[in-house]
Amino acid sequence: MLNGNRITRERIAAMEPRIRRFVRHTPVLRVDMADFGRPPRAVDLKLECLQHSGSFKARGAFTNLLERPVPAAGVVAASGGNHGAAVAYAAMRLGHKATIFVPEVSPPAKLERIRGYGAELVVGGARYAEALASSESFAEKSGALQIHAFNQEETLVGQGTLGLEIEADLPELDTLLVAVGGGGLIGGIAAWFAGRIRIIAVEPEGAPTLYRAFEAGRPVDAPTEGIAADSLAPKRVGEMMFPIAEAFVERSILVSDDEIIAAQAALWDRVRIISEPGGAAAFAALLSGRYAPAAGERVAVLVCGANANPAKF
Tell whether the model's pLDDT for residue 313 goes beyond 70. no
Tell whether the model's pLDDT for residue 49 goes beyond 80. yes
For residue 304, give Cα distances in angstroms to 97, 102, 192.
26, 19, 17
Q: What pLDDT sits at residue 1?
A: 45
Residues 85-118 pLDDT 10s: 999 999 999 999 999 999 888 888 888 889 999 9
Query: What sign for the dihedral angle of Cα 136, 236, 7, 230?
Result: positive
CA distance 23 to 298: 27
Residues 56-74 pLDDT 10s: 999 999 999 999 999 999 9
Which amino acid, one-letter code, is at 110?
Answer: K
Domain ranges of the chain: 9-55+152-312, 72-143
Q: What pLDDT sits at residue 231?
A: 63
Q: What pLDDT sits at residue 128?
A: 80
Q: Are 226 and 233 in contact (CB under 8 A)?
A: yes
Q: Which fold has domain 72-143?
A: Rossmann fold (3.40.50)
Query: pLDDT category, 233, cuts 50, 70, 90?
Result: low
Q: What pLDDT sits at residue 2?
A: 53
Residues 167-199 pLDDT 10s: 999 999 999 999 999 999 999 999 999 999 999
Tell whether the model's pLDDT for residue 222 goes beyond 50. yes
Q: Are 200 and 250 in contact (CB under 8 A)?
A: yes
Tell whether the model's pLDDT for residue 295 goes beyond 60. yes
CA distance 108 to 114: 10
Q: What pLDDT sits at residue 3?
A: 46
> Which CATH number among 3.40.50.1100, 3.30.200.20, 3.30.565.10, 3.90.1150.10 corresponds to the domain 9-55+152-312?
3.40.50.1100
pLDDT top residue among 4 and 147: 147
Would you say the pTM of this structure is higher than 0.75? yes
Residues 123-166 pLDDT 10s: 988 888 888 899 999 999 999 999 999 999 999 999 999 999 99
Tell whether the model's pLDDT for residue 200 goes beyond 50. yes
Average per-residue pLDDT in the chain? 93
9-55+152-312 and 72-143 in the same fold: yes
